[in-house]
Structure 1
Amino acid sequence: MLNDGFPSAPSPPKSIHARLGFTNPIHHERHLRVVCIGAGASGLLIAYKLQRSFSDFELVCYEKNPDLGGTWYENRYPGCACDVPAHTYTWSFEPNPSWSSVYAGSEEIYEYFKRFSEKYDLGKYCKFGHEVTCATWNPTSSKWEIIISNGSETIHDSCDVLFNAAGLLNNWKLPDIDGLRDYKGKLLHTASWDQNVDLIEKHVGLIGNGSSGIQVLPAISSQASKITTFIRHPTWVSPAQAQEQHIYSEDERRVFESDPEALLSYRKALETGFSGLWPVFIADSDTQKTTFDGMTTMMRDKLRNEKLEELVIPSWGVGCKRITPGVGYLEALASDKVEVAWGDIAKINERGPVGFDGMEYPVDVLICATGFDVSYRPRFPIIGTSGQSLGDVWADVPEAYFGIAAHGFPNYFMIGGPNSPVGNGPVLVALEAQADYALKMIDRLQTENIRSFEPKLEAVRDFSEHRDRYMTGTVWDIDCGSWYRRNGKVVATWTGSTLHYLEAIEQPRFDDWDFKYAGNRFAYFGNGFSQTELDPEADWAFYLRNKDDSPYMSRNKRRIATTHTNSSTQITQTTVKVL
């Protein structure tokens, strides 16, 4: 029967099919429970994308801190900021026209993610002050059994899918130096900063010249009477993409707020420049050689001190370690107020560090800018099908599948796992791609007769073999003391650019996955009805049209259709003053 030109939605007939259990249409959605560890940037992204694309699900994000934000909630040390231009540190779909400067501070970044959460009501999924202490896969129920502590009690939970969005730069650590606890002055770590500490007219010791140390030094130089900075290795310091720090004027921010296309054009220009850095990471490329010479000159111009130039400027390739835009760092390092103590610290006594030459450095405050546990081993047991924890499996080298999953750990996803694009170009868009990949897998889990899935061991091994061969041609394979490497393997970065990664994981390679089914794999075909036939508002002839506007079937034509946009990637006259 036709009703206003369209057939009415039928009720499935009572038949032998119903008696045989075929009661639902094809792709009937089963209810899913999802647990996400962490409510930092990645955890909020998972919550947003699940909410946007799925309906029949439960989600809880367990966050150990009393508030969201992850690393941007925890890290509030002086000078803490983006190490990339802030307009490239937003979700692709959620620009922020109100960044105050090119390298925005941590509090601003926290506020961005706070607004993001409030805008999409993501807080309803979060349980703060709840720390996951163990997760165990139950093969009988095909669920994860989870133990959580909220400080006063132990809570048990279970889920169909487990996300680990705890973040890589999350588990901070003090340096392993003999006598550290004997120090009687004020001891600080950048990721556990005491907001009440007073540095005015104090002699401050600073251990480390990684990203946080490079940000701290110029930020405290106006307060301390003297700073002794302890450096073991040289490091490349330069504004990323040659972007110097710049405070956006009210007029510039007004343009960004009132003209979305101007802001988009500016964002695209920054992002394009960021992606354009990729050839730097090819060890013998002309771009690497040119960048090496240019950055050497740039650092010399700012240091203007031959002794410091010999110590601080590396001889290894640019990008072997993450390039840090040290706003004001080199100038501070070369100032009269700063003393550079080169080499390893032998021990620390009650007054301060002692070098291997016996030189003592008494300080009032000792700041450890010594980073995080970057082994990729989870800080709590995650126990898979073998009965081993992921931390034990990855005791030597973390072997993951595309930075997303691990063999032996079904229905388990990581955001920013091993061999993700952490130094290859834009980062957040890569995390978005990881979330999208995971949700494509979850869509199958929910609408097909699947109990569990995990990457096949041979797929993980093949990827690792490809990774090891490919990395020999990159600057990351150089032994420069980078956390990108572990036991001789490059385990942190992807085997190509960020744009390469987006293409590589655009669609899941289902043949790389081991699926387990609940009975017959085709049981989800159901009662023979489509979802469309049971939707009273659906167009039953949706496939008829006046021209072929369907998606292209080849990757290349899909890529061209997606990337050949009309939006300009050039900085407009309106925004050019920003640079």
Structure 2
Amino acid sequence: MPLAGSDTLFAASAIDAARPMKIVIVGAGYSGIIAGIRFLQRVPNIKLSIYEAQAGVGGCWFSNRYPGLACDIPAHCYQLSFHEKTDWSSFYAAGPEIRAYLESVVDKYNLRPFIQLEHRLTSAIYSDATGKWNLTIQRPNKNLGVEEFEDSADVLFTGMGSLSRWKWPDIDGIDSFTGTLVHSANWETGEGDHNSPWEDTVRSWKDKRVGVVGVGSSAIQIVAALQPKVKHLCNYVRGKTWIASPFLGDRAEAFGMGKEESNYQFTDKDKENFSDPAYYKEFRRDLESQLNSIHVVTLRGHPVQEGGRAAFKEEMLRRLASKPEIAEHLIPDFAIGCRRLTPGPGYLEALCQDNVDFIPTEIKQITPTGIETVDGKFNELDVIVCATGFDTSYQLGFPVIGRGGVKLSDKYKPHPKLYLSIALDGFPNWFQSLGPNSAVGSGSLLILIERQVDYAVQATLKLQREHLKSMEVKPEAVEDWDVYLEHHFSKVKPFNFFNNIRTNPIGFQTVFSERCRSWYKQGKEEGRVVALWPGSCLHAARALEHPRWEDYNYEPLNGHTNRFFWAGNGTTVAEETPGADRAWYLSEVDYPPATPAPVPLH
């Protein structure tokens, strides 16, 4: 009987000999840093490059340096599962502290030799012939200004984030303003270098009239930070938003916090307690468990949603008591969580100060000297800060071309469709972190990022172990996930294909289908939810835990056709290496615990 497949039935190497692979990671924020660590740890025999467009590591925590920049979840929940920091200065850590934390992670795991700063990806084209991604990278050149070079990758992993491409607001006359015009995501005022604290850049603003446009997370933090440092501040607010009470849960009493305390500053005694590993482990686990328990607040009509809405409204009214007219314009009629929820320490208190005007009237135009609203009123300004968000279309601004010439820009119209928010048909050997539908409406974002990285690492190991040229998710798998996602966020919960139960197992619609302007829906009041994972962060962690390899199509390396080509020459690396451990399995024993026998099922 003749052999099935190619002339070479099996690989000439040992079954566990790892073929060399080139991995390229794009971005050196949380995603890229985690990916660099895990690829180097778990995938043998690789060449790794991390390309970062900016001049430093940290992603959004490097590019953003606006006044008041801080995390909007507790700092102890905004750190990696495997790299804990016990001396955070406050519950909501400031941006520079988070950036310093990320730099410490890079240094601990010796990633700097693999990171190339000021290297911007300008094109990515998949080669059907080679199964590789051909990349064009732009970098500075002291003689030419910039230069481009080419690279290639067996696996491409992108962690560019959904909030990395900022944009100016579409306001008539914005280019005519003769004062200082600055965007929150590109804080350049000409009064300090990138590494200077924001306080240095606004030190001369004490006699300035400042306008802040927006009421998102950035605007809320900026208003609170600038109010005591400027002569007068106008906050131009188009929409409404919920200002959350600081998330402390049951820990509030333990730290002696009352309602007046907006951002608890940890004492030396607190940090001493945190230096005890057992105490710290319990503290962090409890806090993160509480954070991951509030997913139900994103479900319309749920008692926790209704109770939270009433409590937030009462708290906002209390904090705006001296200017109750603001509450009429600021407190929403939509559910909490419909747009990004932020604690906003100090924001409402800043609005009540004498040197602040809250302006809910729509802007008509920006003139050379200030802002005019549609009611004909005009405010002269020396500085305008546009805290108006990002391009959330997921259009990257450079060509990404997959198998057969398919363009990513076309695949993302009218909205992005991905498989589990990580892979895309037509784009083999490419995995994403924080791409479309990767954000979370509640809970820990970092556990989702870690699981996305783990998934990409497992896929890479499969490509390496089985001598595969490519793996590409099946179009029908992408379509099925898209249907699941669409049902999860639908306005009307139809009965579905899961044994006649509702798509959401708890039986509620999500708040994200309500009418509110949000970057979750590409800045629109209504429409497709393109930013959020369809479920809780814990749901995402479980969904990504065990890849469904049957949802992919595979192409063999070097044309072999026997599915057991990967079995090699019948030996292992240990047997071919003098002095190697040939009883390695005794170091990998999984010892079962001595547990009681299970109760029989009846």
TM-score (norm 1): 0.89
Q: Among residues 327, 331, 339, which one is paired with 1:309 in the alignment?
A: 327
Q: Distance in 1 between matches of 2:516 and 2:405?
A: 36
Asked whether the 8 Å contact 1:424–1:494 carries over to 2, the reply is no
1:339 aligns with 2:357: yes
Asked whether the 8 Å contact 1:240–1:323 carries over to 2, the reply is no
Tell me: CA distance 1:160–1:546, structure 2 relative to 1, closer, same or farther (3 Å). Answer: closer
Asked whether the 8 Å contact 2:14–2:572 carries over to 1, the reply is yes
Tell me: CA distance 1:452–1:545, structure 2 relative to 1, closer, same or farther (3 Å). Answer: closer
1:42-191 alignment runs, 5 A limit: 42-151=31-140, 152-191=146-185
Q: Among residues 510, 514, 519, which one is paired with 2:549 in the alignment?
A: 510
Q: Among residues 249, 261, 284, which one is paired with 2:278 in the alignment?
A: 261
1:522: which partner in 2?
Answer: 564
1:538: which partner in 2?
Answer: 581
1:388 aligns with 2:406: yes
Q: Distance in 2 between matches of 1:87 and 1:456?
A: 39
SS of 2:380's equivalent in the other structure is coil
Q: How far 1:541 moved relative to its partner?
A: 8.4
Q: How far 1:22 moved relative to its partner?
A: 4.2
Tell me: CA distance 1:491–1:547, structure 2 relative to 1, closer, same or farther (3 Å). Answer: closer
Q: Distance in 2 between matches of 1:522 and 1:375?
A: 43
> Any idea what the Cα deviations from partners look like across 1:225-270, whole Å, max 9, x if unmatched?
111110010101113525641011111112222x112111111111
Q: Distance in 2 between matches of 1:336 and 1:513?
A: 61
Runs (5+) with no aligned partner, structure 1:
1-16, 557-579
Runs (5+) with no aligned partner, structure 2:
1-5, 141-145, 193-200, 250-261, 491-508
Tell me: CA distance 1:240–1:26, structure 2 relative to 1, closer, same or farther (3 Å). Answer: farther
1:288: which partner in 2?
Answer: 305
Q: How far 1:548 moved relative to its partner?
A: 6.1
**Which amino acid is 1:186 matched to?**
T
1:268-417 alignment runs, 5 A limit: 268-304=285-321, 305-417=323-435
Q: How far 1:543 moved relative to its partner?
A: 7.3
Q: Distance in 2 between matches of 1:527 and 1:245?
A: 62
Tell me the percent identity. 35
Asked whether the 8 Å contact 1:232–1:344 carries over to 2, the reply is yes
Q: Among residues 264, 270, 276, which one is paired with 1:252 in the alignment?
A: 270
**Which amino acid is 2:114 matched to?**
Y
SS of 1:150's equivalent in the other structure is strand
2:222: which partner in 1?
Answer: 216
Asked whether the 8 Å contact 2:9–2:565 carries over to 1, the reply is no
Q: Among residues 518, 543, 553, which one is paired with 1:482 in the alignment?
A: 518
Q: Distance in 2 between matches of 1:548 and 1:264?
A: 25
SS of 1:221's equivalent in the other structure is helix
> Any idea what the Cα deviations from partners look like across 1:519-577, whole Å, max 9, x if unmatched?
22321111122455446543548479999639x9xxx9xxxxxxxxxxxxxxxxxxxxx
Q: Distance in 2 between matches of 1:410 and 1:102?
A: 42
> Any idea what the Cα deviations from partners look like across 1:410-453, whole Å, max 9, x if unmatched?
11111111122422311101100000011000000111121111
Tell me: CA distance 1:18–1:450, structure 2 relative to 1, closer, same or farther (3 Å). Answer: closer
Asked whether the 8 Å contact 1:236–1:313 carries over to 2, the reply is yes
> Any idea what the Cα deviations from partners look like across 1:42-90, whole Å, max 9, x if unmatched?
1111111111112200111111111111111111111001111101000
Q: Distance in 1 between matches of 2:447 and 2:69?
A: 22
SS of 1:484's equivalent in the other structure is helix
1:12: which partner in 2?
Answer: none
**Which amino acid is 1:509 matched to?**
R
1:491: which partner in 2?
Answer: 530
Tell me: CA distance 1:445–1:250, structure 2 relative to 1, closer, same or farther (3 Å). Answer: same
SS of 2:270's equivalent in the other structure is helix
Q: How far 1:377 moved relative to its partner?
A: 2.1
**Which amino acid is 1:316 matched to?**
F
SS of 1:139's equivalent in the other structure is coil
**Which amino acid is 2:565 matched to?**
A
Asked whether the 8 Å contact 1:235–1:312 carries over to 2, the reply is yes
1:7: which partner in 2?
Answer: none
Q: Distance in 1 between matches of 2:376 and 2:402?
A: 49
**Which amino acid is 1:407 matched to?**
D
Tell me: CA distance 1:57–1:280, structure 2 relative to 1, closer, same or farther (3 Å). Answer: same
Tell me: CA distance 1:251–1:173, structure 2 relative to 1, closer, same or farther (3 Å). Answer: same
2:186: which partner in 1?
Answer: 192
